[in-house]
Amino acid sequence: MNAKWMALMGTGAVGLYCVTSLLTGGVQAQTKPVQQVTLWESHNGGPVADSMTYLVNWFNRTHPGIHVTIDVTKASTKALGALAAGNPPVLAEISHYDGSFLNAHALLSLNPYVMGKGGLSEGATYPSVWTNGEVGSQHYRIMADAKVSQLTYNIKLFKQAGIKSVPQTWTQLAADLAIIKRKFPTVVPLAYKDSSAHILPPFLANGGQLFLPGSNQHKTDFLSPAAYETFNYFRTLYAKHEMIFAHGANIRSDFGAGKIAVADGTSAGYEKILEAVHGRFPVGVFAYPKGSSGHTANLVQGLGFVMMIDHTKAQNAGAATFIKWWFSEGPQIYWGEHSGFPPETRSASVRIPSSYMATHPGTRVAISELASPYTIPRPVPTAYNEVQSVLDAYFYKAVTGQTSVKMALTQLQQQADAYLSGSAQL
């Protein structure tokens, strides 16, 4: 150090501070603590996990004051226990079964942290993404990876069967399945999932409603023409051996082996289907067809970001910064091109190149489904979880002929209403 500068600065604490300030750039250069944000999410492999890791690393590089650490675990089932133990994650991805979190007052409303000026606003995301996890006017969960139900098909089989276009209605789908069954007796025309996320869309497309109007969400509407039409439709397919019930890995494996013509699944599963096929035949995808109402319908599924209670203001601010960044254009475009999930914002969707869309029809169809006014979020209340469980059970019984459609719907309505009204124990 120049002697003249030392003389001007003096010695002792004040002089040492001045020298240090000159060397480091002043008070602002003093190191601030990095806010540590734990993120619990359950993707432990494949393109989703790879994309999530890439994006978190991207965020950490561009936000030096915040560091997000991924912890791969089932937050939907473990986060409440962690809260009770005094060690909840700051940020978590949980499923739409978030009613138990709300009942435990475990979540912060995202409104003051993420919404409004400088953050997210209605119109930035697709409507079904925006309203997913909204209770009243408060957002407690917002979609991190939105997915919708869709149908994947063997293009080669369709061509050999003389089917020139994908079906636009459920009635047309039934006719196509009959053709496939007649021309390829050893092929399963349709493999379907007996879960509420796949039962409710055709029910809604046939004019059904989640709740009986005027019941204040205390009654369902399964004793309706739409429910009879939906249950009977699949019962007929099953009786004619034109469909089977199957799930996940089994559907993908048999479809990849050419044993299934049309596979029910989600937009998130399309890339997995391609892996199972391994280039043996061309694969296409189409949205759930229109019902008797004249329109299609779908439910948004998937994990959503939540901010849990019992953290510092700085940690909450760090988590909020990450969520807002996640929904910015660059991360959303990357997510839509690499994860297998569609972007959740309109601006990112239109920025994905047409060349990518042409080779990734699963993403293209998913975007069209998210943009549809007839795509809605799954219900939040804890009681509706039980409704969905009994719906799965009675749909399976009715379709497979274990009970009549009338009896199945009558008992379904009774049990579902008991859960919604609170007269049955959850």
CATH of the domain at 108: 3.40.190.10
Mean per-residue pLDDT over the chain, rounded: 88
**Average pLDDT rounded to a whole number, residues 44-60:** 91
Question: Can you name the residues that pair with 308 across neighbouring β-strands?
Answer: 107
Task: Give the range of the structural domain holding residue 181, as residue numbers without chain letter.
Answer: 149-300+381-421
pLDDT band with cut points at 50, 70 and 90 for residue 384 = confident
Residue 341: inside a domain, yes or no?
A: yes
In this structure, of 120-124, 185-189, 236-240, 324-328, the range with the lowest mean pLDDT score is 120-124
pLDDT score at 394: 97
Are 385 and 346 found together in one domain? no
pTM, to two decimals:
0.85
In this structure, of 5-9, 135-139, 152-156, 255-259, the range with the lowest mean pLDDT score is 5-9
Which residue stretches of 206-353 are H helix? 225-239, 248-256, 270-277, 313-326, 329-338, 346-351
Q: Own/partner pairs for 103-109, CB < 8 Å, 24+ apart?
A: 103/382, 104/80, 105/309, 106/79, 106/80, 106/308, 106/309, 107/140, 107/141, 107/306, 107/307, 107/308, 107/309, 108/140, 108/306, 108/307, 108/308, 108/309, 108/316, 109/138, 109/139, 109/140
pLDDT band with cut points at 50, 70 and 90 for residue 72 = very high
Measured at the CA of 104, the angle between CA 98 and CA 110, to 5 degrees, comes to: 60
Are 292 and 409 found together in one domain? yes
Residue 268: inside a domain, yes or no?
A: yes
Domain end point (choices 348, 371, 394): 371
Are 255 and 293 found together in one domain? yes
410 CB contacts (<8 Å, ≥6 apart)?
223
pLDDT score at 11: 40
Are 296 and 306 found together in one domain? no
Structure token pair of residue 109: 């409303």
Spatial contact of 358 and 165, defined as CB atoms under 8 Å apart: no
pLDDT band with cut points at 50, 70 and 90 for residue 383 = confident
Question: Which residue in this structure is represented by tokens 């042409």?
Answer: 358
Residue 426: inside a domain, yes or no?
A: no
Residue 249: inside a domain, yes or no?
A: yes
Domain end point (choices 352, 371, 390): 371
Q: What are phi and psi of 361, to 5 degrees?
A: -65, -25
pLDDT score at 330: 95
pLDDT band with cut points at 50, 70 and 90 for residue 31 = low
Candidate ranges 7-11, 63-67, 194-198; pick with highest mean pLDDT: 63-67
In this structure, of 4-13, 248-257, 268-277, the range with the lowest mean pLDDT score is 4-13
Q: What 3-state DSSP class applies to 91?
A: strand
pLDDT at 2 over 70: no
Render pLDDT for 306-349 as a digit per residue (tens, 0 to 9): 999 999 999 999 999 999 999 999 999 999 999 989 999 999 99
pLDDT band with cut points at 50, 70 and 90 for residue 25 = very low
- With CA atoms as reference, report the closest residue to 288 among 176, 151, 146, 148: 151
Are 140 and 253 found together in one domain? no
Residue 96: inside a domain, yes or no?
A: yes
Are 234 and 291 found together in one domain? yes
* Upper half-sphere CA count for residue 151 (Cβ side, 13 Å): 26
Question: Can you name the residues that pair with 152 across neighbouring β-strands?
Answer: 263, 285
Are 311 and 294 found together in one domain? no
pLDDT score at 171: 97
**Average pLDDT rounded to a whole number, residues 88-100:** 86
Distance CA 253, CA 169 (A): 27
Are 215 and 287 found together in one domain? yes
pLDDT band with cut points at 50, 70 and 90 for residue 96 = confident
Are 328 and 222 found together in one domain? no
Render pLDDT for 282-315 as a digit per residue (tens, 0 to 9): 999 999 999 999 999 999 988 999 999 999 999 9
pLDDT score at 372: 94
pLDDT score at 424: 66
In this structure, of 98-112, 150-164, 172-186, the range with the lowest mean pLDDT score is 98-112
Go through 192-210 and write b for each residue having 16 or more CB atoms within 10 A of its CB, e for each that does not: bbbbbbbbbbbbbbbbbeb
pLDDT score at 425: 60
Question: Which residue in this structure is represented by tokens 């007796």?
Answer: 185
pLDDT at 390 over 60: yes
Go through 304-315 and write b for each residue having 16 or more CB atoms within 10 A of its CB, e for each that does not: bbbbbeebeeeb
- With CA atoms as reference, report the closest residue to 125 among 329, 270, 338, 424: 329
pLDDT score at 320: 95
Question: Which residue in this structure is represented by tokens 């699949």?
Answer: 234
Residue 396: inside a domain, yes or no?
A: yes
Residue 331: inside a domain, yes or no?
A: yes
pLDDT band with cut points at 50, 70 and 90 for residue 89 = very high
Q: Three-class SS string for 342-411?
A: CCCEHHHHHHCCHHHHHHCHHHHHHHHHHHCCCEEECCCCHHHHHHHHHHHHHHHHHHCCCCCHHHHHHH
- With CA atoms as reference, report the closest residue to 334 among 56, 110, 120, 45: 56
Are 317 and 230 found together in one domain? no
pLDDT top residue among 276 and 30:
276
- With CA atoms as reference, report the closest residue to 366 among 349, 378, 380: 349
Helical packing angle, 196-205 and 382-399, nearest 10°: 80
Are 195 and 69 found together in one domain? no
Spatial contact of 285 and 366, defined as CB atoms under 8 Å apart: no
pLDDT score at 26: 46
Q: From residue 364, how far is each of 189, 336, 349, 351, 370 by CA, in Å?
A: 24, 10, 9, 12, 10
Domain end point (choices 331, 353, 371): 371
Are 43 and 172 found together in one domain? no
Residue 329: inside a domain, yes or no?
A: yes
pLDDT at 7 over 70: no
pLDDT band with cut points at 50, 70 and 90 for residue 20 = very low
Domain count, the chain: 2
pLDDT score at 14: 37
Distance CA 98, CA 301 (A): 12
Distance CA 343, CA 125 (A): 9
